[in-house]
Homo-oligomer: A and B are copies of this chain.
């Protein structure tokens, strides 16, 4: 114990993090390193994403939601790459005033998500920082060998699909920053809460992983706004794309917001934190892809097509007319 009654690093690991290290390879976090044996025929997929208080989440967000978001944004990357998640390593930079209550709730969030998503903690590091709380997660999973879809493999003529609905989280953030906005958009409390929740706690599309490994040539998760992330995929693949804003799937609250305030559409197309999956599918496989998605109860919607490369990479249209957006992507950085 340290002088203020809080546990030291070893004590903190033992009390809060050890119960999360349920995989044998993590050796109850008694070690500096973990081991993992991938099954025959699979490759390892690795990704890392960090979140900073005041930049990626609000310092006053519930700690369990902060933990789950930090984990989920990584699981979202794995799902987009066709990988089944296995485990994660966690670096947490705690501020001087960290409290045991906060950490307990944080770890409860992790435990709940570990249960829901079938992952375990494999290791981590706890450091002190005089700056804001920072959480960095490295997640890993497994995908059938040679079936990891890449951002770089989109080909002209392919159909572009997204999972779920787009823009909810970005609208949720706007509502959170502007107390009167939900009312001006005519949203009920329940509708506003749907958008707020989508910002607070993304839902990684783990169900999409198997479909991505089977059908997508190129895929990615949408974290910085659909239009901008599509632009990144186009750059990486050296192609262009037409995005039909009228096809972009909206939740009921988002549709209501756009009806009330057409400028909300730009937020939807360029805001961040969707954590849905964007995929490029060969046209002759599109029907099979849609059917496979239907069978696992995963909403997928065609939102555009891949084209030959052109300057600007992405043309956004609505009712066949170009739609000009101020900026394509939300920049966390």
Contact = CB atoms under 8 A, between A and B. Distances in A.
B35 A43 contact: yes
Contacts of A77: 32-33
Nearest to A13: B333
B123 A55 contact: no
A280 interface: no
Contacts of A122: 46
Nearest to A229: B32
Interface stretch (A147-155, A252-260, A283-291, A292-300): A147-155
Contacts of A318: none
Interface string A66-95: 000000000001101101000001110100
Q: How many residues of A sit at the interface, in one of the four size bands?
A: 35 or more
A246 interface: no
Given A125-B49, A136-B50, A150-B31, A145 B37 contact: yes
A308 interface: no
Contacts of A183: none
Contacts of A27: 150-152
Interface in A120-148: 122-132, 134, 136, 138, 140, 143, 145, 148
B125 A9 contact: no
